[in-house]
Structure 1
């Protein structure tokens, strides 16, 4: 069977996103940063509007805006703000502001559905190179700071006693999250990036015994979700981004059932 080039590019893009979201998503789950991820992802729509308005690279614009939002949220967290409500307000405000800004762009065709829900089947070769660079940068950050990030996640006091700076580790996570948003926007869209960051790691918890195992299993489950979701999209003519998230959700449900069966057997 001959597979079209656009399908291979879509598959490669999805696997790159899985590689980046797997280990980072574990920290999102461990630190209970789901809303943090949503706020950063929603801000990327404003980045799209600014990129199109000023004629700059979409990747650069979304990365800069996502990073600005992530740094703002991280600064608020560092000052002890109660972030649940604040993040909810910021996430929806950033998304709404981005959508309003897009409406002021005259003479520019903007497919909002592609940015909101992803359009993996339109990924081009140049997009793949940019995504590969972003995904490898995220993986490099995770490998470089894995032990320090893990220690700071377990206990900031413990991290300080070992000579680590929890604020610096939080900043590294912030940078990695902004990179992931910029990389994943084309694949699953701003509204679904948070799902891909949370669902595979949440499912991986039932199959892993160590943090490292959880990160690897999370990457594997995210990759399987991409393959299943992309296959379902091509077969059933459904939106690719949401189909990937549905596949991830099905794997999560399977992991919960498997975990319950294991506990019952004990």
Structure 2
């Protein structure tokens, strides 16, 4: 019984760590309409996993490097005349396809591909927890430190420049933070669901939030409830944990959106 408690506690802590990292950052993803950007960065993680296994490297740094490289490539392409959705579409699907092909070519390596695609939170180890919470602390600290600059650059880039803030620099900060979130979240929800955890909690918190800070705190709450609720649902109904977390987040989004509509238009 103690073993059961141990792995459930580790899974719960992992989910909370990812929620803490992803939710505030996800607010900027929602405000900047960068949902597909997060998805493209996540898809690059599969290629990072394949390179790590093929070269005998550690998976986490390789995923971080691949996600960061993807984010920087997309930013460069959009600055060279490519439409954002075109650049994201090309890079995202190319990285995912190349990663999947590379993984299948590693015949001498045993790999649970589904765990990387959809997450395997129940297999989180104590060392994984250290990486997840270390990454969460880094992202949260970076977000708090650059909050004013990120917010002003998001709302009004011209005003940001007039205030001595470089919007391009703030975009690079956001890019780095997104890559870190992808690297720490891959074990919990997998590369195909990371974008959902970035977008759904902030979108759910938005209808009831009056300030950007309130929306960020609300997103953390929704993300935490989604992680714990999804873990409970997976344990009770024997469903995949990563998709269960996303389903709970979607349910909370529906409830809070309806609550926001009722508050704006009371009967």
Aligned to 1:76: 77
Higher alpha-carbon deviation: 255-264 or 155-164 = 255-264
Residue in structure 1 matched with residue 252 of structure 2 by the alignment: 251
RMSD: 1.2
- Structure 1 residue 77 displacement after superposition: 2.8
TM-score by length of 2: 0.97
Tell me if the contact between 1:26 and 1:198 (Cα under 8 Å) persists in the aligned partners: yes
Residue number in structure 2 paired with 1:27: 28
Q: Is the 8 A contact 1:13 1:123 kept in 2?
A: yes
Paired residues for 1:105-144 under 5 Å: 105-144=106-145
- Structure 1 residue 80: deviation in Å? 4.6
SS in structure 1 of the partner of residue 191 of structure 2: coil
Number of aligned pairs?
266
Moved over 2 A (4+): 76-81
Report deviation, 1:133: 1.0
Alignment of 1:172-211 (within 5 A): 172-211=173-212
Equivalents in 1 of 2:132, 2:57: separation in Å? Answer: 17
Q: Distance in 2 between matches of 1:65 and 1:234?
A: 33
C-alpha separation between the residues in 2 aligned to 1:72 and 1:35? 14
5+ long unaligned stretches in structure 2 = none
CA deviation profile, 1:57-98 (whole Å, cap 9, x unmatched): 110010000000011112223345311122122111110100
Tell me what 1:219 maps to.
220
Cα deviation digits, residues 148-205 of structure 1 (max 9, x gap)? 0000001111110000111100000000000000000000000000000000000110
Q: When the two structures are superposed, what TM-score results if normalisation uses the length of structure 1?
A: 0.98
Give 1:37's aligned residue.
38
- Report what 1:238 is aligned to: 239
Match of 1:67 in 2: 68
Gaps (5+ residues) in structure 1? Answer: none
Do 1:78 and 1:167's aligned partners in 2 also have CA atoms closer than 8 Å? no
